[in-house]
Amino acid sequence: MDWFLENAWIIPLIPAVSFALILAFGKRLPKGGSEIGLLSVGTSFVLAVGTGIAWIQHVNAGGAEGGGEGGEHALGLVARAAEEGHHAIEPVIKTVTWFQFGGHEFPAGTMVDGLSVIMLVTVTLVSLLVHVYSTEYLKGDRRFTHYFAFLSLFTASMLTLVIAQNTLMLLTAWELVGLCSFVLIGHWWEEKPNSDAALKAFLTNRVGDVGLIIGVIILFFAAGSFNIVDINSMAAEGEISHLVLLVAAISLTAAVCSKSGQFPLHTWLPDAMAGPTPVSALIHAATMVVAGVFMVARFYPVFFEGFSISSSSINLLAFVGAFTTVVGATLAFVQKDIKKVLAYSTISQLGYMVMALGVGAWTAAIFHLFTHAMFKACLFLGAGSVSHAAHHTFDMRKMGGLRKYMPSTFATFVIASLALAGIPPLAGFWSKDEILAGALQGQASAYPAMLVLGCMTAFMTAAYMTRAIWMTFFGEYRGEGTPHESPKVMTVPLWILAGAAVVVGFFNLPDKLAPDGIALRFEHYIEPTFAFPEIEHPEFSFLLAGFSILLAVSGIALAWQYFARNRGPHGLTERSGLAAWGYRVLENKYYLDWLYESVIVKGIKGPIARGVYWFNQKVIDGAVNETATASKATGNWLYRYIDQGGVDRLVNASGAGAEGSGQFLRRMQTGHVQQYAALLFAGAAVLAGIFIVII
């Protein structure tokens, strides 16, 4: 089984090759190249599962075989772990020389550990189901082949990112993920909102990417290496100053905010719903938006030490995550587009993950990433199924009553929504409860503000998903035509994901509810023990679990009473100016888009545009005009003095001379032989005289 761990590079390579093959031959194939994409991602999924099994065996064996190729700092950790009486599970690292510069070798390689394994399985599974779903959803699309090509590249880029051994590889894959998202979000670029959304996503992510680049540079000069294990080892061992780690962590947090849709750089994510729905599912569940969370988890010693997570009650990472959960949840309430409800829900849930990492609940964050991928992919594909049946609209005001027409879509959507709301025993309950427990107990101290914001979000999540279910599936149908259930090629992926949303939560049952052989399996196999800070795991609290269930049930009950039973303060926005103002704030998304576009962008764009215009008019156009004037004057001079006075005069003189010579010779051509003989004799006499004189 070690073969899987040592050859994990094949997993992203296969869809990367698929990208090239689909572009080259896809249009000539019966299925437009989709068959290549399906085969490649399916193969990668099988290999990912094999890698997961191999990693479990590796951990069970104590990590003795395979080993890593870390630097001296990593080896020091191994030695100290042995002295302390426990065995650190080393990641399996394989490298080759990428390029050489300035006497330094820059390797490219793979690093396989529990974190990369769970990401490999998650990405390939969701991508495979999205590929299957897309064959029907995009049937007949004008760029069907193009879509599947970039879907393969998108998958390959994310898979490369999660197994990257060094920061240069991670940065390269990070940018490829952003490029693919730009292409896929703008798939229907002929419509301006779609191209605008793609451009907004691309530019917003570039803002955060500057932070990533700065962070990578800082860590390189601090650690003297791009090797991720070396960087983490030195951070964990205190070999990098706290100030440097703090600045690096702040810079990397900017990248998290853009890529993972955290406040205040989250505004691109709802607009990204302009792309095809399967792309939305892949982006929100397993690829682009979870890249930021993964990056924090991968460089956790940097953040743990830089933000002093073990000894504080609030830090930048925890605050950004907690605040984002509330922002995303409140904005989900006022959306009329079902995909945008889910988009703001993703922003909120990503906030949960970032908050968990900020309070020291590393395992809870990754566990929630895993469970969230299952039910959120199910919800997005369910939204696509609804749109497919309801004449391609996502407006919930034009839906209603669809449970009677679409039983499979309805059932899977409800299961996934309950998982998202945190209703036991579904997956979302176990991961979300672990996050709240992490905020309650913290490390050396608790994070009470984070706990309060997390509980508020739990209540709101249940409420806005109940609203979405009622508007979509209950009441009378308000759309056009007669809706119908989607074909099995679309509903089967829904049932697989809904089933996963039911069972994957049992992968990390608390030790108070399960025997030792079953409890905390996810933590045991996924959480690093190598080049990783010593974190305290929260204990399961029956009181907190009961309170979180009460919040979720209350949110469902109140929303159901308000929407389905028509009870509550209806018309409040008409009666209260304050309520009307609050609703306007939410409708305008806290005016952040206005702030960015009308104040910041225009404030910067105006002076820049005026400066560029002046430079164009005065410098570029001025230079061009002056060059033209000088060229014209030079041309006139050349024409007057060289062409007319020199060349033409010489040509005319030559012509006149030739004409005179011709006239003279013409007079000599009399036609009398005796005259020609006389001339010949005279010429011969002259030549003879010259000869005699010379001799």
Say how far apart CA 625 and CA 272 lie, in whole Å.
45
- Single out the residue of 403, 577, 384, 543 nearest to residue 477, CA to CA: 403
| 594-647 pLDDT, tens digit each | 888 888 777 776 677 677 777 777 788 778 887 878 878 887 777 777 767 777
| 459-516 pLDDT, tens digit each | 999 999 999 999 999 988 888 888 889 899 999 999 999 999 999 999 999 988 888 7
Say how far apart CA 573 and CA 390 lie, in whole Å.
30
User: Mean pLDDT over residues 424-429, rounded?
Assistant: 94
| Residue corresponding to tokens 């605050």 | 319
Say how far apart CA 41 and CA 132 lie, in whole Å.
10
Say how far apart CA 561 and CA 579 lie, in whole Å.
20
Strand partners, 337: 395
Residue 106 three-state SS? strand
| 144-186 pLDDT, tens digit each | 999 999 999 999 999 999 999 999 999 999 999 999 999 999 9
What's the confidence (pLDDT) of residue 66?
Answer: 44
Contact 415, 426 (CB under 8 A): yes
Query: Residue 66 has what DSSP assignment?
Result: S
Of 80-89, 92-101, 189-198, 200-209, the poorest mean pLDDT is in 80-89
How is residue 148 written in tokens?
A: 């599947």
Percent of the chain with pLDDT over 70: 92
User: Mean pLDDT over residues 569-580, rounded?
Assistant: 82
Say how far apart CA 47 and CA 16 lie, in whole Å.
15
Contact 53, 46 (CB under 8 A): no
Contact 112, 92 (CB under 8 A): yes
What's the confidence (pLDDT) of residue 669?
Answer: 62
Q: What are the distances in angstroms from CA 62 to CA 159, 313, 464?
A: 26, 35, 46
What's the confidence (pLDDT) of residue 601?
Answer: 74
Cis before 264 (ω within 30): yes
Instruction: Please state the pTM of the whole predicted model.
Output: 0.85
Give DSSP secondary structure letters for 251-295: HHHHHHHHHTT-TTS-THHHHGGGS-HHHHHHHHHTSHHHHHHHH
Cβ-proximal residues to 438 (8 Å cutoff; 6+ apart), any chain: 356, 359, 360, 361, 364, 447, 538
392 has a pLDDT exceeding 90:
no
What mean pLDDT is reported for the chain? 87
Q: How confident is the model at residue 551 (pLDDT cuts 50, 70, 90)?
A: very high
Say how far apart CA 350 and CA 142 lie, in whole Å.
34
What sign does the dihedral 73-75-80-85 (CA atoms) show? positive
User: Mean pLDDT over residues 67-73, rounded?
Assistant: 52
Q: How confident is the model at residue 8 (pLDDT cuts 50, 70, 90)?
A: very high
Q: How confident is the model at residue 554 (pLDDT cuts 50, 70, 90)?
A: very high
Q: What are the distances in angstroms from CA 525 to CA 52, 58, 508, 613?
A: 10, 10, 10, 60
